[in-house]
Amino acid sequence: MISTPASSRQYLFQLPVLVAALGYFVDMYDLFLFSVVRVPSLKALGVTGEQLLPEGVFLLNMQLAGLVIGGVLWGILGDKRGRLSVLFGSILMYSLANIANGLVTNLSQYAALRFIAGIGLAGELGAGITVVAEILPKQLRSYGSVLVATMGVLGGITAYFVADQFAWRMSYYVGGGLGLLLLVLRVNVFESGLFENLKSQQLERGNFLKLITNAESLKKYLLAIVVGVPLWFVVGILITFSPEFGRNAGLVEPIVAGKAVMLAFAGQSFGDIVSGLVSQRWQSRKKAIRLFMLLSFLTMIAYLCLPVSSTTQFYALCACLGFCNGYWTLFIILAAELFGTNVRATVATSVPNFVRGATVPLTWLFVGLKPSLGLTYGPLLIGTMIVLCSLLALQFLEETFSKDMDYLEA
């Protein structure tokens, strides 16, 4: 029983939890750096005018495809070899890929390295959240998600300020250097006790095929993925392509994608804190997620439909979208709590990356609907469909707030 604030802080600020949080800082820096430097980097490589949108979508989809593949691979390794081996292996891969991104000279190289970076990025968050879920007592798991999420969002904000001060190539070098520095903290970091206990029993771990061929497990797995899709509709489309949405709103002054990303993640930082505290207050994951999902939908409508007369108003809507998106790590905690120790890392790593990967068909649909429905009604139709599906999926999932993590999946 955690009885005092001092003992709670002692649990929260254990080195493995801090490494998971700092890993997500570097993860988010890289993941959203492309959103910040998309336009200047593509222009430097010779892309101009109307080609900026489709080429940007292509590079984003290459990164997301890497995330999907890496999510499964790293997740399986997390259950077979340990959560921390994945945490550090993924940090090393995306750090080196980040540095290499600063050296590209053409679109083919850029696409290949975004794919490799995506594979590396896929492992860190799921492994980190699994460590947090298994190390912290159930009374503190919401606070753990707040800590990890806040550090991650600060990484996205840092990406904006670094890109604002330095050229896009240097911004990639900085991200890679931060990741390599983080690896120094690997010394003396210990593995989750639940995983060590499972490992000593010589039980089968990380069987992804068994996970998706068992009807009950597959149902939970798919429902968890659907719950998270609205998060990346907001980030991957509404915020990433904010310059295009700004022009569609009739703004004469161009919207700077990097500033929109920074404000959205500043809002999400606050939202992550509030959603974690709401979950703790209500003793419920589902109620907090449902609240923020509904708020996000209302803000989507405002972003797409309300008339805006200045960039200030538009950026304010971006910040509001970010705040309402502040249930990302709470959602991953929910996914981790839904499954037993023998497949927990597989689920917690692959589910968020399938959510990220869902942006690929969503961007295809976004681009496909643009000629007939434009940049207002096309995204509104997509957003409405995915929010309705996500609310329905959430309804069918169990409440996990007080669930004991020491159990195995059949």
DSSP string, 52-94: HHHHHHHHHHHHHHHHHHHHHHHHHHHHHT-HHHHHHHHHHHH
What CATH number is attached to the domain comprising 131?
1.20.1250.20
In a domain, 5, yes or no: no
Amino acid identity of 186?
R
Q: Say what the pLDDT of residue 268 is.
A: 83
Write the pLDDT tens digit of every residue in 214-239: 888 889 999 999 999 999 899 888 99
Top-confidence residue, 178 or 126: 178
Q: Say what the pLDDT of residue 204 is.
A: 61
Amino acid identity of 44?
A
In a domain, 409, yes or no: no
In a domain, 197, yes or no: no
3 state SS of 383: helix
Q: How far apart are CA 217 and CA 196, in angstroms?
A: 23
Q: Residue 184 — pLDDT band, cuts 50, 70, 90?
A: confident
Q: CB 162: neighbour CB atoms within 10 A? A: 22
Give the mean model confidence (pLDDT) for residues 15-44.
82
Question: Considering only 121-135, 250-264, 304-318, 330-344, which range has the smallest mean pLDDT?
Answer: 121-135
Expressed in angstroms, the distance from the first to the final Cα of the chain is 29
Q: CB 30: neighbour CB atoms within 10 A? A: 29
Q: How far apart are CA 342 and CA 146, in angstroms?
A: 25
Q: Inform me whether the pLDDT recorded for 2 exceeds 50.
A: no
CB 227 within 8 A of CB 393: yes
Q: Say what the pLDDT of residue 324 is.
A: 94
Amino acid identity of 262?
M
Number of domains into which the chain is organized: 1
Give the mean model confidence (pLDDT) for residues 108-120.
92
- In 137-256, where does DSSP find H-type helix? 141-165, 168-182, 193-200, 208-213, 215-233, 242-248
């399986």: which residue's tokens? 76
Give the mean model confidence (pLDDT) for residues 8-26.
75
In a domain, 402, yes or no: no
In a domain, 405, yes or no: no
Domain range holding 158?
Answer: 13-187+207-396
User: To 5 degrees, how large is the angle CA 31–CA 37–CA 40?
Assistant: 160
Q: CB 216: neighbour CB atoms within 10 A? A: 9
Report pTM: 0.76
């997301």: which residue's tokens? 64
In a domain, 171, yes or no: yes
Amino acid identity of 381?
L
